[in-house]
Structure 1
Amino acid sequence: MTLSDPLMLQEAREAPRVVRRQSRENAGAVHALAAAIRERRPPYAVTVARGSSDHACTVLKYALETQLALPVASLGPSVHTLYGAQLDLRGALVIAVSQSGASPDVVENVRMAREGGATTVALVNVEDSDLAREAEFVLPLRCGEERAVAATKSYLASLTALLPVVAELTGDATLKQALEKLPEALERTLSLEDQARDLAERYRFADNLLVLARGLHFGVAQEAALKLKETCGIHAEAYSAAEFSHGPKRLLAEGVPLLGFTSADAAAAATARAYADLSSGGADLRTIGPAVDSTLTTPQTGHALTDPVPSALAFYLFAAHLALHRGLDPDAPPLLSKVTKTR
């Protein structure tokens, strides 16, 4: 690592330290939130977020639904802020995710939800933000300042902040152990940077890219598609590997390449079959993830909920180097700024 490296790379490499600090410093907040959820027994949850934070919510949706059998829906912030609807969220668990905690529409929705009797939780990096003040419970991301326009460490921290609560509610000792060892897995992921750079080289002239995944990795695929647009100027879209054959597969006839995320969980076999079918049909497909036959194989962490974190980190290394291969600065994407305040 050198100080001349893009901030995107420098901040992504902080992931092991961030996750270790989050685990150490959030114990009290985790216990309080778990106790409240256990006592109040919310019948469902909704998430409020935009951009990378919303993609983290996709991963959290799968986590809450598979581990707690808690249905999760994504709330459209403009339903309240633009259309004026006062949603009935009594008893719901409302989870807002934001690096800055400054987006007015997210803040206003949390205020509405709390006033209406919801249990509100903010996963936020800026602890003195408006969002943190409005939520009943706060799980700080503990990233420190994030200067790169393209969020990396804050997205990764958003994936992990709620998992200790899930572990406490379920009594899942395997998840607790995986969380304890996750910083080590992320350190091992950083050692794959040369492989990520080499894989990125083959996409340097791509104009379009389709990103596939299933289950817990789907939110990582969504994030990957955003980052490819943001940092590399590539038109990328994310699809479920299960849905891809229902129309989008047509694009393969135009020679559009694929990037697939693999898994080592309950979605692994179905994902592998889908990728095998695509490859046998001549698709240009490379993969990232914990499956042992991945093009870029990331460390398995010992639990399905934590496996997406190294996958996402490996992708960030890939994306930053792809931008550099294309002669672009991933820290200075045209037309974009660090904080977007949507109303």
Structure 2
Amino acid sequence: MTSEGHNEPLMLRETREAPHVVRRLLTENREAVARLAAAIRGRRPAYAVTIARGSSDHACTVLKYVLETQLSLPVASLGPSVHTLYGARLDLAGALVIAVSQSGASPDVVENVRAARETGALTVALVNVEGSPLAEAAEFVLPLRCGPEQAVAATKSYLASLCALLPVVAELTGDEALGDALNALPERLTRTLELEGQARELAERYRFADNLLVLARGYHYGAAQEAALKLKETCGIHAEAYSAAEFSHGPKRLLAEGLPLLGFASADAAWDATRQAYDDLRAAGADLRLLGPQAGADLPTPTGGHPLTDPVTSTLAFYLFAAHLALGRGLDPDQPPLLSKVTKTR
């Protein structure tokens, strides 16, 4: 497979659609955003619950940090099998229930949203397929506006999932800086795509890696989770994500085995503590490379955004890295063994 024209992997072609997808989402979701923001103001949920699997669940990790820091709303991740396999019917009255899914077709996610709505929860679906069972089950829908996503490795739908609730947060908080950053985000994503050559060069360093540990804190932790999944999915690399704080405990022992590290370098309140952890790891001999909006990162993403939008550009840069790492290893990222696009679980 070459990296020219239509012979390029779908993963790369769909990744490059990110600026258009985000621009369309921000433009076409305005009415849906206003309705949801009004409902949250009126019903004042006491806490939030997320329901998702895979990449969508990693987006929910980012949303957890967003809702907790910006709206002071505690967020928990619901295990879908609690209801579908164990038969428990949770009382979610007074909760904001957020389900995220590209296809909207997984029965366990749909059934949990339906049950939550019946108990009085304010239910929201972030979904790409607007006529899907999940969209029908939820009270409110924020479409991801991705168009068809054919690659097994979700890219543009994950990025859209990170963005879909941010206009609601900006509306509820009156955060003009966030609003400005969202308006500028498509252009920042376009500039991020210009880093593809640097992403390819960084990927070459990991061409023969069997294992890779991905570190981050705060808003970028869900991006690290997503990165670890994509490395397994597209590159056949055993990768795990850790909080930079947690890694300094028991997992740090893995440095003695020579495992390489990839760290997200944020430009937010978590950076000082994260930088100290990275400095300590390097002092212990860690092979650590950085990605993100901090100056000096090995793959530096555009600066001047907002802490809530930075994970979007960081993840886009990572997708470029992962696709070229797969190609450099002689793999087709569109055809990972044993996997299919939609997995329906119960």
TM-score with structure 2 setting the length: 0.99
What residue number does 1:233 align with? 236
Answering whether residue 6 of structure 2 is matched by residue 3 of structure 1, we say: yes
2:140 is the counterpart of 1:121: no
Q: 1:272 aligns with which of 270, 275, 297?
A: 275
What is residue 218 of structure 1 aligned with on the other side? 221
> CA shift at 1:302, angstroms?
2.5
Deviation at 1:49, TM superposition (A): 0.1
Identity %: 79
The equivalent of 2:200 in structure 1 is 197
Matched, 1:93 2:96: yes
Residues 95-154 of structure 1, C-alpha deviation per residue, up to 9 Å, x if partnerless? 000000000000000000000000000000000000000000000000000000000000
One of 251, 255, 262 as aligned partner of 2:254: 251
Kept after mapping to 2: 8 A contact 1:7/1:331: yes
Rounded to whole Å, the distance in 2 between the matches of 1:237 and 1:39 is 41
Normalised TM-score (structure 1):
0.99
1:164 paired residue among 163, 167, 190: 167
1:60 and 2:60 are equivalent in the alignment: no
Q: Shift in Å at residue 246 of structure 1?
A: 1.2
Task: After TM superposition, give the deviation of residue 21 of structure 1 in Å.
Answer: 0.2
Give me the whole-angstrom Cα distance separating, in 1, the residues matched to 2:24 and 2:6: 23
Q: Deviation per CA, 1:290-331: give whole Å up to 9, x if none.
A: 111111110124211001000000000000000000000000
Query: What is the letter of the counterpart of residue 180 of structure 1?
Result: N
Q: 2:28 matched to which residue of 1?
A: 25
Partners of 1:181 and 1:301 within 8 A in 2: no
Q: Distance in 1 between matches of 2:147 and 2:242?
A: 32
Q: Deviations over 1:254-305 (max 9, x none)?
A: 0100000010000011111111111121100001001111111101242110
> What secondary structure does 2:345 align onto?
coil
1:141 is the counterpart of 2:144:
yes
> Is 1:303 aligned to residue 310 of structure 2?
no
Query: Which is further off, 268-277 or 22-31?
Result: 268-277
Q: What's the offset of the Cα at 1:80?
A: 0.3
Stretch deviating more after TM superposition (295-304 or 98-107) = 295-304
Distance in 2 separating the partners of 1:183 and 1:228: 25
Structure-2 separation of matches of 1:2 and 1:275? 39
Give the secondary structure class of the aligned counterpart of 1:270.
helix
Whether 2:323 is the aligned partner of 1:320: answer: yes
Aligned with 1:3: secondary structure? Answer: helix
Deviates more, 1:287-296 or 1:216-225: 287-296
Distance 2:97 2:111 in 1: 12
Counterpart of 1:260 in structure 2 is 263
Kept in 1: contact 2:58–2:225 (CA 8 A)? yes
Contact 1:95 1:120 in 2 (8 A): yes
Q: Is the 8 A contact 2:248 2:277 kept in 1?
A: no
Counterpart check, 1:130 vs 2:133:
yes
CA RMSD of aligned residues (A): 0.6
Counterpart residue identity of residue 47, structure 2 = Y
Name 1:40's counterpart in structure 2.
Answer: 43
Q: d(CA) in 2 for partners of 1:302 and 1:203?
A: 29
**Where does the alignment leave 5 or more consecutive residues of structure 2 unmatched?**
none
Cα distance in 1 between the residues matched to 2:7 and 2:70 = 43
Q: Which consecutive unaligned segments of at least 5 residues does structure 1 have? A: none
